[in-house]
Structure 1
Amino acid sequence: MKTQHNTVLITGGSAGIGFEIAKQFVRKGNQVIITGRNPERLQQAAAQLTNTTALVSDVSNPADVDQLVERLQNEFPSLNLVVNNAGRAFYYSLSEDGVQATDKAAEEITTNYLSIIRLTEKLLPLLKKQPEAAFVNVSSIVAFVPNHALATYAASKAALHSYTQALRFTLAKDTAIKVFELMPPLVNTEFSEAIGGANGISPTVVAEELLNALETETYEIHVGNTADLYKLFLSSPADALLTLNSRR
């Protein structure tokens, strides 16, 4: 898929991986739209980019999504690339008393999984009109192997991985829309600070890997250590589980 002259939507584009992806697409000459919940942070991000529009929107809020989709249809009818990057994560132990795992899991599932289904469904008619189009779902290394301190987050990403595979298979049958899955390991961002993100790879590396994968049409993108863990997972799921959980 071409990585120039696209109209690109990036949810959660004001910081971290999303912001770095926006920077890479801007450098390639694309029109970029970033969304986020915090207006001030979103405007600060957009001020650092050219050819970028910032739209305040919470992907977990159905009313916000409806408003976003309507605006995209009216103002950006050439939209052909959607990067579902917005995420939510809680770092805790399932053995803690009163941890409220159900509430935390509900937030993670809503943001990391259900909101992507909702936005994809609503934007599908618009992307079908384009000669070339794609969805990119940002999941994680833990979609293959869960980390014990990110148990419900990992479950939400595993659900997203399964959905993404089914979406890719379905859309390939009767549309020109491609479906990519970006699967980073630990990344050094504010989002991952609580789980030792300082030890992770740069978000710039993740963004560069995405653009390379789009150009080569590599649909499942195993960034950094994700590639090694996936190989281990294929040979021994038990060893992969122990390996990932010994790192943090």
Structure 2
Amino acid sequence: MEIQGKTILITGGTAGIGLEAAKQFLANSAKVIITGRDQSKLDKAKQLYPALIAIKSDAGNADDAQLLFNQIKELGGIDILYNNAGVLSMSTNMGVANDRHSKEAEHEMNVNYFGVIRLNNLFMEMLKSRKESAIINTTSILSYVPSALEATYSASKVALHFYTETLRKHLEIINSHIKVFELLPPVVATNMTAGRNDKKITPEKVVKTLIAGLKKQQFTIRVGDTKLLYLVNRLFPKMAFGLVNSDKNIKQLQ
């Protein structure tokens, strides 16, 4: 897929993978629009990369999604929708039952899963109108093997993983030219994982792999340890579960 000259919308673009993606897509001569909930972070991103267009928008809010679509339409539309925004609540995932569990699990699913569907539905006709267009969904290594420490987050990413595969197949059936890519990173060194001591990969490496996959039209892009875990899980699922859920991590639940 050609990136140069494309207009891409990146949700959750103020930090981590999203901000790094904005940087690298700009370096590949794309026009980049980012969203985020925090205006101060959007302003900082704009200061770092003045060519960015930064729009305040909450990926879990249906009204914000509609307003975002309207703004993008006024700007001339997009060629690539990159659903990168995601949330993880450790108070939800550290236990099955606590006072905040249901509410925060619902928030995770709303941002990580339903928010993606909302934006895809809103932008589908716009993307169909483009000569070459794509949807990118960021799922996770936990789409293959769940983490006991991140139970509901894992569930939201599994849901997005299956939705991504079936969306791709549906668009193939109706002969749509929209390409659907899935990015499956391992643990990435971001603010979300700051409290974890696991092996981590940098956002820079994740996005380099993403862009290389886009250019080669590699629709399922497994990054780093995700490649190995995918194979291990197919052959030895109990071993794969143990690799994700080490004794050190399980002790945090006790």
TM-score normalised per structure 1 = 0.95
Other-structure match for 1:85: 84
Please tell me the residue identity of whatever aligns with 1:88. V
- Percent identical among aligned pairs is 37
Other-structure match for 2:180: 179
Structure 2 counterpart SS, 1:69? helix
After TM superposition, list the pairs within 5 Å mapping 1:162-201 onto structure 2. 162-173=162-173, 174-196=175-197, 199-201=199-201
Please tell me the residue identity of whatever aligns with 2:84. N
Structure 2 counterpart SS, 1:76? coil
Please tell me the residue identity of whatever aligns with 1:84. N
Query: Partners in 2 of 1:46 and 1:210 — Cα distance?
Result: 23
* Structure 1 position 99, deviation (Å): 5.1
Runs of 4+ in 1 over 3 A off after TM superposition: none
Query: Partners in 1 of 2:16 and 2:214 — Cα distance?
Result: 20
Structure 2 counterpart SS, 1:195? coil
Query: Partners in 2 of 1:188 and 1:132 — Cα distance?
Result: 32
Establish whether residue 69 from structure 1 lines up as the match of residue 80 from structure 2.
no
Determine if contact 1:30/1:51 at 8 Å carries over to the other structure.
no
Query: Partners in 2 of 1:170 and 1:205 — Cα distance?
Result: 31
Structure 1 counterpart SS, 2:136? strand
TM-score normalised per structure 2 = 0.93
* Structure 1 position 50, deviation (Å): 3.9
Query: Partners in 2 of 1:50 and 1:40 — Cα distance?
Result: 15
Other-structure match for 1:124: 124
User: Which deviations, in whole Å up to 9, do the C-alpha atoms of 1:127-162 show, x marking residues without a partner?
Assistant: 000000000000100011011000000000000000
* Structure 1 position 89, deviation (Å): 0.4
User: Which deviations, in whole Å up to 9, do the C-alpha atoms of 1:72-96 show, x marking residues without a partner?
Assistant: 111133x11011000010224225x
Evaluate the alpha carbon distance shift between residue 244 and residue 99 of structure 1 in structure 2; reply closer, same or farther with a 3 A threshold.
farther
Other-structure match for 1:113: 113
Please tell me the residue identity of whatever aligns with 1:59. A
Determine if contact 1:140/1:157 at 8 Å carries over to the other structure.
yes
Evaluate the alpha carbon distance shift between residue 143 and residue 99 of structure 1 in structure 2; reply closer, same or farther with a 3 A threshold.
farther
Other-structure match for 1:160: 160
* Structure 1 position 190, deviation (Å): 0.8
* Structure 1 position 105, deviation (Å): 1.1
Please tell me the residue identity of whatever aligns with 2:193. S
Other-structure match for 1:220: 220
Query: Partners in 2 of 1:43 and 1:76 — Cα distance?
Result: 22
Evaluate the alpha carbon distance shift between residue 99 and residue 237 of structure 1 in structure 2; reply closer, same or farther with a 3 A threshold.
farther
Specify every segment of 5 or more residues in structure 2 that has no aligned partner in the other structure, as ranges: 250-254
Structure 1 counterpart SS, 2:195? helix
Query: Partners in 2 of 1:189 and 1:98 — Cα distance?
Result: 26
Query: Partners in 1 of 2:6 and 2:197 — Cα distance?
Result: 35
Determine if contact 1:7/1:76 at 8 Å carries over to the other structure.
no
Determine if contact 1:59/1:65 at 8 Å carries over to the other structure.
yes
Residue correspondences, number: 245
Specify every segment of 5 or more residues in structure 1 that has no aligned partner in the other structure, as ranges: none
Query: Partners in 1 of 2:27 and 2:56 — Cα distance?
Result: 23
Evaluate the alpha carbon distance shift between residue 42 and residue 3 of structure 1 in structure 2; reply closer, same or farther with a 3 A threshold.
same
Query: Partners in 1 of 2:113 and 2:181 — Cα distance?
Result: 15
